[in-house]
Structures are given as C-alpha cells and as structure tokens.
Structure 1
Amino acid sequence: MSQNYRFTVNGGHFTDEQRDFYETNGYIVFRNLIPEKDLQEFTQRFLEICRGHVKVYGLTIMKDKGIQKTDKSEEEYQIFKIQDFTFDDFLFEKYARNKDLVNVVTSIVGPNVTTINTMIINKPPNSTDVFAIHPTHQDLFYFPFRPADSVCASWTAMEKCTKQNGCLFVVPGSHRNQLLPHVYLSKTKNKSYQGIENVQERSKLYLDMEAGDTVFFHPLLLHGSGPNMTQGFRKAISAHFIDSNCFFIDVRGSLQEAIEREVEEIYAKKGIIAKYSDIWKYKSRLVTGRPGNFQTLASVL
C-alpha cells in the first residue's frame, strides 16, 4: 500500500495483505478463529443466564417486545441480547481474552487494550423485521471517547450466519466517513437501536459466516443486520476494544448528546445517577497491557 497506515499499528500480527485490506475496507474477517468447543460453551452460558441459573451482577438481559407476544415461553425465544458480559469472568476470559482474538485486536489498537462493550446477540426463529433488525449505524455514535482509529469491534458467528437469518452487513470503505446523524427509524422498536437514514441497499455487503468466523471492524464503519427469517436461531458474540489511552470527550452540543441523555436516563431508572463517561468506565475491563485512562470496575459508580 502506497499510503501511510492510519487504521492499524506497526508491530502487530497482521500480514501485509491483511493490514492493507483493513486499511482499505475498515473490516476484516478471520475464518474459524474461535474453536467450536468454545462456541458451545458460550451458548450454554447464554442459556444458563437466560434461565436464571447463573446470575451476574451488572449484566443486562434484554427481551424482544415483539417475541414476548408469541406463544413461545422459553427464554431463548424471548431474549435477544445479554449486554455487558464484561462482568462475567467466564465469558470475559474465554472470549475477550482469547489469544488469537487479542492478537488481531492489538494489530489494530496497539498493545494496551481495554474492552468497553460486550454482548451475546440472539435472533430467534421467524423474527419480525420490526423488532429483529439492527439498522445501519456506526458504533462510534454510542462512544464518548476518542480517537476513533484506536477503537475496534469483534463479532463472532456462534452458528452459521446468512442473509436469510440476519447476518451482519457492512459498507466497505465507509470507515473514512465522519460520524453521521442517527435517529429512530420507523421500523425500529428496540431501545437504543438508532440508525442512519437513506443508506442504499446496493452499497451493503452481506457477510456469510460459518460458526467461529470473526469479523473485526472500525467504529465508523456503516453496518447492521436484518431479521432472522429461518427456523433456526442466529447467535453471535461481540466485544469492542480500545487503546487504553483513549480519552473521553464532552458530547454536549454534538450528534451524540441525545444518546448520552438516553443512557443516563436508563441508568437513573436503575437507581444509578452517573455521568456518561463514568458509565463507560464502569463497563470497561482491562484485557492486556496497561490500563491508561480507564479504571477498574470497583473504582466508579
């Protein structure tokens, strides 16, 4: 590549070809990165949490309002996400600290890594597009820290993912855009699932992935997912990673002011009065290297 590298770091584990691909497209897929044995354990842990057999303080269980109206009473049919498994030592150690995964992350953000947003996403069979879609968005919309180039996401298919069951789609090269306005679109009902209007379908690349395949992407990359129109489930496990030396910004007066207010209100309803930046510190956990500007879980809230 003739241009200077901007989105990756020197001394990482990428080949030159892999590094060039991420720089150009804003994402990269590693096939069969996570072993099948680990995926089975993630699924079992998800079910144990959903059924209340395992309780993790700080973790949020999110139910799909549309699915609850069906005749399916099993928790796997009702719950579309467990949020912030950072607080679960098992999932954190097994996924966020997976050696092969961390090698890719350090090639993007550098040697000092903190995870700040972790989840298992579940799409039950025959989901409706009203509830199960995640509209085109940029992850940076939710993050009050910078620089953006020192942040990346990992997203691992826990089972085969296709366009039919709601695989991830990306808009290659869109990581070079600025942060765009996000709004609640007419077909979106789940809380905090804002999206970007008027993204053309032909610009989307749907990522068919086998179980264990993992995509890494930049926080400004346009991406999303559709409904699961099949008879099976579609699960994925995901985490966001940052250079621990990232710094917090004041989002008041910016495109992110509304989401800051929304998140603070959600926590206030839980009895936690906290600033947006402190909420993110609370949800963070050191993966490797030095903690930099992020504190331990016990030090905030």
Structure 2
Amino acid sequence: MSRAADRLKVVLNHLDRPRSHVVAFSTSAQSVSYHHPQTFRYTLDSDILSPEQRLSYEENGFILIKNLVSEEDIDKFRAEFERICRREVQIPGLVVMRDVAIAKSEFVQDEKAVSKLQDFQEDPELFRYCSLPQILQYVECFTGPNIMAMHTMLINKPPDAGKKTSRHPMHQDLHYFPFRPADRIVCAWTAMERVDRRNGCLVVLPGTHHGTLKEHDYPEWEGGVNKMYHGVRDYSPDHPRVHLEMEKGDTVFFHPLLIHGSGMNQTQGFRKAISCHYASADCYYIDVKGTTQENIAQEVKEITTRKYAMDTLTFQDTWTLRGRLVQGERTSL
C-alpha cells in the first residue's frame, strides 16, 4: 500500500471522531495537520480527484495529470502561436517577450524570436485552452465553481545561447498576484511537447506551499536575467526537488506558493508549454504597499505607464483588466 493510501486509511478511521479531533501526519517536508470534518485545506470536495490525488496535493502542492489535453488542440495552439510570431495577427494587450540573450540580435519574424507570450486573453484560439472542460473540472477542485482566468502564458523556452539565460529562477507565483486567498488560486501548465531535464522542464520543491510568501528579486546571474523573472531570495538549496518530466498533453496543477523554476534548454529545439493561472471569483484584492510585493507592483506600473501612456492604472487595475470569467459568476474579482 502506498504512503498516501496509508494516510488516507488513517483519515477514514477517524471519521467518527468528535469534530475537534485533529489527525497529524508526518511528511518528508514537515508535519501537516488535517482537521475533521474539514479534512482538507487545499482541495475541495468533488468526484474528480481521487483520495490519493487529494492527499498528494495537500502534502506536495502539485499533481500531474497525464494526457489531459488532446494532441489536436495542442497543434492548434501551436499553429496560432506561429501566426502571432509571423505577425499575421495583432492581439490587443498581448505581451511578446524575447530572451535577453537574443533581444538585440538580428532575427526573422518567426518563433525563434519569441520566448514567451503573456496575456493572450484576447486571442480566441489560445484562450480556448483556459476554457477546456477537462482543465476546468480539475481547476474547480481548487477554486470552487466560480472561476476566473487571471494570467495566461505560452512559453517557448529557447535553446540556451551559452549564457544560461534560458533558466527561470526559483520563485513563487503568488509574488505577482495582488489577490487572495492563496489556497483558492491554482496554475494549470500543459506540455506542448515532451519536456525533460535536457530542454528545461519544471523543477518543484514539494511541500513549500505550506510556507509563506518569500521576498523576491532579480538573481545576480552573469549572463543577465529576463524581464520580470524574479526569484526567491532565501530558500534552502538542500530541499528535496522534483523534475517534472512530461509528455505532450500532460498537465500539472500547482499551488501559487509552491517554489518552482526551470533549468536551461540544452537542446537545439524550443520547449513549448501553455498555462493559465486561475482564481476563485470569490477572491479579493489586497494592498501590497509595504509588503514584499511592492517591487513587482512598481515594475508593473512602470511597464503599463509606458504601454498605455497613462500613470493612473494601479497594480490591481492591471489584474482586473486581464481577468476573464470562464465558469460560474464573477462575484468579486
């Protein structure tokens, strides 16, 4: 019997205990307490996640679902990405990014010039990813029935140019979000082709979602760091880590406090993935002034001021504008 199944058996054996009873499990990362009848903190009741999957997410902060998105859909997303790279379509609000190592080089207008698309909510084909029923049925296990798509990305990690700039520093996604509670936010990240350690798969530190939001800043890398690629300033390099090797269509769901990043792309190909951060529409905005998030809020404000030639947009406004309801009712966000 697996370790998760052993823990589940303990929970089931205590279902008839008084409401005040606490069941404590010792994990490799730290001790986790489950309270009856609210046994789970990070997942909600549904028929989608198995008991073992729920316990795994509770303990580790992520779950990997194999073959969730069809090859046909992924090929359509890839074709749309290539159209955007060739500038055959213009998408309002879309942010097109290039790796810092090639940002000033000569290049043709194709996918080799683009390392990432952000905020593709106005592109009907790419945004269709965020509304896929098989994605949303898992998202609802973390957010509840009212679901907002808050942040969209298509990552095209380029072959490393020799300066290690294709890395993504270890970070927590909550650093970028001025809304809470964190436990009702989740990311869906789908591999658009095989991803492994050679082309820079995701690496996660299991259990770090039990902690708090840490201070982030640009790491001091000799080859430079891509714009907005903030990293955690203080985490244990000895913490156990998992490299998420995935096949095309595999999807990982993870908590916004989970510390994660990705390594260099040491191949000659471009490693593609598509992702969306979701939040419960019942979440609320917070003021990040005076917190560790103040630096990212200031950076976003500077970017939006240049982009829209106006300085009245707040950090919260930028998220309100890009958020889209994908299921249920828009109750708060």
Equivalent-residue separation in structure 1 for 2:310 and 2:172 (angstroms): 27
Alignment partner of 1:38 out of 70, 73, 78: 73
Report the residue type matching 1:106 in the other structure: E
Bigger Cα displacement from structure 2, 157-166 vs 65-74: 65-74
CA 1:220 to 1:128, structure 2 compared with 1: closer, same or farther past 3 Å?
Answer: farther
CA 1:117 to 1:227, structure 2 compared with 1: closer, same or farther past 3 Å?
Answer: same
Bigger Cα displacement from structure 2, 218-227 vs 69-78: 69-78
Partner of 2:45: 10
Q: Does 1:291 align with 2:322?
A: no
Equivalent-residue separation in structure 2 for 1:57 and 1:191 (angstroms): 20
Alignment partner of 1:28 out of 39, 52, 63: 63
Equivalent-residue separation in structure 1 for 2:228 and 2:160 (angstroms): 22
**SS in structure 2 of the partner of residue 266 of structure 1:** helix
Report the residue type matching 2:134 in the other structure: D
Report the residue type matching 2:70 in the other structure: P
1:44-83 alignment runs, 5 A limit: 44-68=79-103, 73-83=108-118
Deviation at residue 17 of structure 1 after TM alignment: 1.3
Q: TM-score, normalised by structure 1?
A: 0.93
**SS in structure 2 of the partner of residue 132 of structure 1:** coil
CA 1:229 to 1:74, structure 2 compared with 1: closer, same or farther past 3 Å?
Answer: farther
CA 1:12 to 1:268, structure 2 compared with 1: closer, same or farther past 3 Å?
Answer: farther
**SS in structure 1 of the partner of residue 121 of structure 2:** helix
CA 1:156 to 1:127, structure 2 compared with 1: closer, same or farther past 3 Å?
Answer: farther
Report the residue type matching 1:57 in the other structure: P
CA 1:207 to 1:102, structure 2 compared with 1: closer, same or farther past 3 Å?
Answer: same
Give the % identical residues. 43
Query: How many aligned residue pairs are there?
Result: 293
Equivalent-residue separation in structure 2 for 1:166 and 1:259 (angstroms): 25
Structure label with greater radius of gyration = 2
Please tell me the root mean square deviation across aligned C-alpha atoms, in Å.
Answer: 1.5
Partner of 1:299: none
Deviation at residue 55 of structure 1 after TM alignment: 1.0
Q: TM-score, normalised by structure 2?
A: 0.85
1:125-164 alignment runs, 5 A limit: 125-164=159-198
Bigger Cα displacement from structure 2, 123-132 vs 237-246: 123-132
Equivalent-residue separation in structure 2 for 1:244 and 1:164 (angstroms): 38
Deviation at residue 173 of structure 1 after TM alignment: 0.7
Deviation at residue 86 of structure 1 after TM alignment: 1.2
**SS in structure 2 of the partner of residue 209 of structure 1:** coil
Deviation at residue 202 of structure 1 after TM alignment: 5.5
**SS in structure 2 of the partner of residue 153 of structure 1:** strand
Deviation at residue 67 of structure 1 after TM alignment: 2.2
Whether the aligned pair in 1 keeps the contact of 2:77 and 2:125 (CA below 8 Å) is no
Partner of 2:210: 176
Q: Which runs of 5+ in 1 are unaligned?
A: 295-301
1:38-74 superposed Cα distances (whole Å, 9 cap, x missing partner): 1111111111011100111111111123124556535
Q: Structure 1 residue runs of 4+, over 3 Å off?
A: 68-74, 126-130
Q: Which runs of 5+ in 2 are unaligned?
A: 1-7, 12-33
Partner of 1:190: 226
Whether the aligned pair in 1 keeps the contact of 2:64 and 2:252 (CA below 8 Å) is yes
